[in-house]
Structure 1
Amino acid sequence: MALIEFKRCPHCGKTTWQEFVPQAPPAPSYWRCRDCGDRRDARRISVGQSALLNHGRIQTDQLCADVLIVDISPRGAKLRSDEEMPVVVREGERLLFNPQLQPFGELARYHPSIVRWIRDGDFGVHFERPLAMASVDIMRIVKN
């Protein structure tokens, strides 16, 4: 069970639930905000111009749809709704996300995620459990 406190986040400034994270040295604090999370300390791998080729899949109770992967990290991903088949998600909604970047392995299965933000047709998901892969391994898979 996680140790949590209700206090002000030094990063986003909101007073919200803070979660104690024992592995802090790369981060400035042992406490992580549950609202802003630690999405900025994970290196994002931009899919770039090949974004049209990298389709992931999301699944909720109401829908199962393809999405475009804009960038991905061990902690989450920035996704774009496909123009031909728009996806409607809500902030805070739980969903399953499959990056479909490998034929098998960690980037080929569904990961429980939470929608953290929505802007225009893009939205960000935070993985409930970070991927076991390092950013450099994800980059090799995306770039090849």
Structure 2
Amino acid sequence: MALIEFKRCPHCGKPTWQEFIPQAPPAASYWRCRDCGDRRDAKRIRVGNGALLNHGRLQTEHLCADVLIIDISRRGTRVCCDEDLPITVHMDQRVLFNPQLQPFGELAHYQPGFVRWIRDMEFGICFEHPLSLSTSDITRIVKN
């Protein structure tokens, strides 16, 4: 469970909820605002709106379901639940995620990770181990 405190954000200056991040450097602070900025340190690649391209597979201890991929990076992904088949996940829950973006290779297999954040129907998954593919390789796979 994340350590959370209500305080003034050093970046945007407004009082907001912030969470303690144990691996601060190269960041200026161990606290990160939940409202401002992009907290991800890896470049995200936005997935297109193609019907089959943006469907990934999520597996937990109790269910296996399709999710819509909004974006993906070497360190994680942002996904959205299908409105017709909503699923319930919790913060820090261990999951397996298969992007299904390749017929074979790293983006065709389940990646272990955990749920990092949840907002309505969207949530973020942080991979346990970053993908070995470079950002440009991921971009090429997604765009082709």
Q: TM-score, normalised by structure 2?
A: 0.75
Question: Is residue 142 from structure 1 mapped to residue 142 from structure 2 by the alignment?
Answer: yes
Q: Percent identity?
A: 57
After TM superposition, list the pairs within 5 Å mapping 1:23-102 onto structure 2: 28-29=26-27, 39-50=39-50, 53-102=53-102
Contact 2:56 2:100 in 1 (8 A): yes
Contact 2:20 2:30 in 1 (8 A): no
**1:109 equivalent in structure 2:** 109
Distance in 2 between the 1:41 and 1:51 partners? 28
- Structure richer in helix, relative to its length: 1
**6, 22, 38: which one aligns with 1:18:** 22
CA RMSD of aligned residues (A): 2.9
Unaligned runs of 5+ in 1: 1-9
Q: AA paired with 2:70?
A: V
Contact 2:95 2:114 in 1 (8 A): yes
Unaligned runs of 5+ in 2: 1-9
Paired residues in the alignment total 129
Distance in 1 between the 2:71 and 2:19 partners? 29
Contact 1:18 1:31 in 2 (8 A): no
Residues 56-105 of structure 1, C-alpha deviations (whole Å, 9 max, x = no match): 11111100011010000000000010122111111111100010100110
Q: TM-score, normalised by structure 1?
A: 0.75
Contact 2:48 2:54 in 1 (8 A): no
Contact 1:94 1:112 in 2 (8 A): yes
